[in-house]
């Protein structure tokens, strides 16, 4: 297959980690007979320096006309004094909106060789952690009306949380389709005992579930879910939830698997084009020092192959190579444990590439 990939290296450690992910993609292309064509799309602080804006039109066009987008991270102290409308993160928000990305998917998977980095009790960690959080990304309270007014001599603030059936339905379909390729269980998380939006959420997800009789659907209140994720994460396969709950639960889910440097994320809309990135930021404190862990970005590239290009075997090959490199003892600083071999970003990339 021939695929074009827009590459946003970004700022800080972005160029280092994306370079390693591209190296791994090249190894996959060579092994499986594909051609990946990379198209550079400057975004973030570096784009502000070069073009005066965080997302130049030319970069947006490159992303919209490519088969998928791979991103490192944007931002850093150099651009903190920019007016809020011209900060590096604005580029990312504009890109998400322009690509119509309404679903965010974040896996919470613990590699068995990193179980010592898991903050949960060993007997809980031993049961394994392997689930995904499917989060609605462009609705709910983050996108509702916000206002602050003076009422009876004091300030009163209001944030509106609204959901329409179609917004719930489309993200529910993503969750059920994903569950079909996994262990066939969806846990829908809401606060239906209190919120109208949650009651509509529960009713709509239940309706969508009828189209997937082979997938089990469970409902859980968000406060219970926050507790269950640390009590017994092995019970989850696919979690689907609205924007605010998903923001909080997906961070909790990442934390229990170990380091922030290990976790990928994908954002999808209609069609197969997605935005794939690690969950961490540009880590300016270690930028340019060959210290960054590239695994989150490499696993993001694997997600791109699986979800956007329907290349399951190729994605499996990347995930197996990451597993093998960890088993061989290679560790970047953020995941170093006794007995591991400390390596830099380039060496970790090479260790994974050579195991494809
Ligand atoms: P961060 O995720 O960049 O860093 C937090 C800590 O984790 C740092 O100590 C860093 O060294 C470490 N870390 C992060 N990724 C690592 C990796 N791959 N390997 C090893 N260690 C790693 O968060 P921050 O410091 O709060 O933010 C730095 C900048 O990144 C800010 O400008 C912020 O706005 C931006 N940011 C961007 C994105 C994005 O592009 N999607 C996301 C979050 C933050």
Q: What is the pLDDT of residues 300-355, one digit of tens each?
A: 999 999 999 999 999 999 999 999 999 999 999 988 877 889 999 999 999 999 99
Q: What is the pLDDT of residues 115-169, one digit of tens each?
A: 887 889 999 999 999 999 999 998 999 888 989 999 999 999 999 999 999 999 9
CA-nearest residue for atom 23, ligand 1, is 281
Q: Are strands 103-109 and 130-136 parallel, antiparallel or unpaired?
A: antiparallel
User: Comparing C-alpha atoms, which of 5, 19, 6, 3 is closest to residue 347?
Assistant: 19
Instruction: Report whether residue 334 contacts ligand 1, using a CB cutoff of 6 Å.
Output: yes
For residues 329 and 349, what is the distance between their CA atoms, to the nearest angstrom? 14
Residue to probe by mutation, ligand 1, list 282, 288, 290, 345, most atoms within 8 Å of CB: 282
| CB atoms near residue 77 (< 10 Å) | 11
Query: Which backbone phi and psi does 189 adopt, to 5 degrees?
Result: -115, 130
CA-nearest of 249, 347, 284, 306 to 73 is: 284
Phi and psi at residue 225, to the nearest 5°: -60, -40
What are the tens digits of pLDDT across the range 13-61? 999 999 999 999 999 999 999 999 999 999 999 999 999 999 999 999 9
CA of 283 to the centre of ligand 1 (A): 4
Q: What is the pLDDT of residue 66?
A: 98
| 281 pocket-lining for ligand 1 (C-beta < 6 Å) | yes
Is the pLDDT assigned to residue 97 strictly greater than 90? no
Q: Is the CB of 260 under 6 A from ligand 1?
A: yes
Q: Which atom of ligand 1 is nearest to the CA of 334?
A: 20
Would the CB of 14 count as within 6 Å of ligand 1?
no
d(CA 171, CA 167): 7
Q: Tell me, what's the pLDDT at 302?
A: 98
Percent of the chain with pLDDT over 90: 86
3-state helix, strand and coil shares in percent for the chain, rounded to the nearest 5:
45, 20, 30
Q: Whose CA is nearest to atom 16 of ligand 1?
A: 261
pLDDT of the residue at 141: 93
**pLDDT tens sequence across 224-271:** 999 999 999 999 999 999 999 999 999 899 889 877 899 999 999 988
331 Cβ below 6 A of ligand 1: no
**Catalytic residue ranges:** 142, 191, 223, 247, 251
**pLDDT tens column, 179-212:** 998 999 999 999 999 999 999 999 999 999 999 9
Say how many residues make up the chain.
Answer: 356
Q: Which atom of ligand 1 is nearest to the CA of 283?
A: 3
- Per-residue pLDDT, 116: 80
How far apart (Å, rounded) are the C-alpha atoms in residues 248 and 252?
Answer: 6
Q: Taking all residues of the chain, what is their mean pLDDT, rounded to a whole number?
A: 95
For ligand 1, atom 36: residue with the closest CA: 281
Distances (CA, A) of 155 to 150, 152, 158, 227: 5, 8, 10, 34
The answer, yes or no, to whether any atom of ligand 1 lies below 6 A from the CB of 73, is: yes
């Amino acid at each position: 297959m021939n695929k074009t990939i827009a590459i946003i290296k970004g700022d800080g450690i972005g160029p280092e980690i994306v370079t390693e992910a591209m190296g791994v993609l090249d190894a996959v292309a060579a092994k499986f007979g594909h051609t990946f064509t990379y198209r550079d799309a400057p975004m973030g602080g570096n784009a502000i320096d070069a073009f005066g804006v965080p997302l130049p039109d030319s970069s947006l066009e490159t992303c919209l006309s490519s088969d998928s987008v791979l991103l490192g991270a944007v931002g850093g102290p150099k651009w903190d004094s920019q007016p809020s409308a011209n900060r590096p993160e604005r580029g990312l928000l504009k890109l998400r909106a322009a690509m119509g990305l309404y679903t965010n998917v974040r896996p919470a998977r613990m590699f068995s060789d990193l179980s010592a980095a898991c903050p949960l009790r060993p007997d809980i960690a031993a049961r394994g952690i392997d689930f995904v959080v499917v989060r609605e990304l462009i609705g709910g309270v983050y996108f509702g009306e916000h206002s602050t007014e003076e009422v009876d001599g004091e300030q009163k603030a209001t944030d509106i949380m609204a959901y329409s059936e179609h917004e719930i339905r489309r993200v529910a379909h993503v969750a059920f389709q994903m569950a079909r390729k996994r262990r066939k269980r969806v846990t829908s998380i809401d606060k239906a005992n209190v919120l109208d939006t949650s009651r509509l959420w529960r009713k709509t997800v239940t309706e969508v579930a009828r189209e997937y009789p082979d997938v089990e659907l469970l409902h859980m209140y968000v406060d219970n879910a926050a507790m269950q994720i640390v009590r017994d994460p092995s019970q989850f396969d696919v979690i689907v939830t609205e924007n605010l709950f998903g923001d909080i639960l997906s961070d909790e889910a990442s934390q229990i698997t170990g380091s922030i440097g290990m976790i990928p994320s994908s954002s999808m809309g209609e069609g197969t084009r997605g935005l794939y990135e690690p969950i961490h930021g540009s880590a300016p404190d270690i930028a340019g020092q060959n210290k960054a862990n590239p695994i989150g970005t490499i696993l993001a590239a694997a997600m791109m192959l699986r979800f956007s290009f329907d290349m399951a075997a190729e994605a499996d090959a990347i995930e197996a190579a990451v597993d093998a490199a960890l088993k061989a003892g290679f560790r970047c600083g953020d995941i170093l444990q006794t007995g591991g071999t400390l390596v830099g970003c380039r060496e970790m990339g090479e260790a994974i590439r050579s195991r494809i």
